[in-house]
Amino acid sequence: MRCAGSSCSVLTRWSRRTCAVRGRIRPGAAGAGRRRARRRRDFRGFYFDTALSSSPAALPTLLAFARPGHVLFGSDWPFAPASAGQYFTNGLDSGVGPGTLSAVNRTNAEALFPRLAGAPTPAPARPLPVRLRQSAQRAGARLFFKLIQPGTN
């Protein structure tokens, strides 16, 4: 996965410079346009994350560049401050339509990792008093069954 914030521009510049230094692409040379188009097509095939790239300027550019299904919610840079992550997450939530948001948040990842597609969506956390009450009820039920059936665990 590539970070959408910088990799495309870096890879494109690197590729252009490397090919120019090696003499593989000369302006006006036969086939230069085809090679550039092939390279651009290859870069579009990368998978991109939305870390620090869901701004109003970057997100539409990323969605227009990447192949459909190749933009995923996530980050490859865990050192960003929480406030920056929240800003860009809000940008994603408000910057795209519901279908695109659902695809970026989950559907694209399910297509990439099909064995995880059947994994249930985690249930929202219950409030602490509810969890404590349910835990006490389970412990009471276990104790009750141990008392009436002493030989069982």
Predicted pLDDT at 70: 93
- For 72, phi and psi rounded to 5 degrees? -125, 150
**Residue burial 2-12, b: 16+ Cβ < 10 Å; e: rest:** bbbbebbeeee
pTM of the entire structure?
A: 0.59
Predicted confidence (pLDDT) per residue in 83-141, tens digit: 888 888 888 998 899 999 999 999 999 999 988 787 676 777 888 898 899 999 989 88
Predicted pLDDT at 146: 83
* Inter-CA distances, 137 with 41, 131, 144, Å: 59, 10, 10
The arithmetic mean of pLDDT across residues 50-66, rounded, is 85
HEC secondary structure over 16-67? HHHHHHCCCCCCCCCCHHHHHHHHHHHHHCCCEECCCCCCCCHHHHHHHHCC
Whether 3 shows a pLDDT value over 80: the answer reads no
Predicted pLDDT at 19: 55
Domain residues of the chain, as ranges? Answer: 2-122, 123-153
Predicted pLDDT at 44: 87
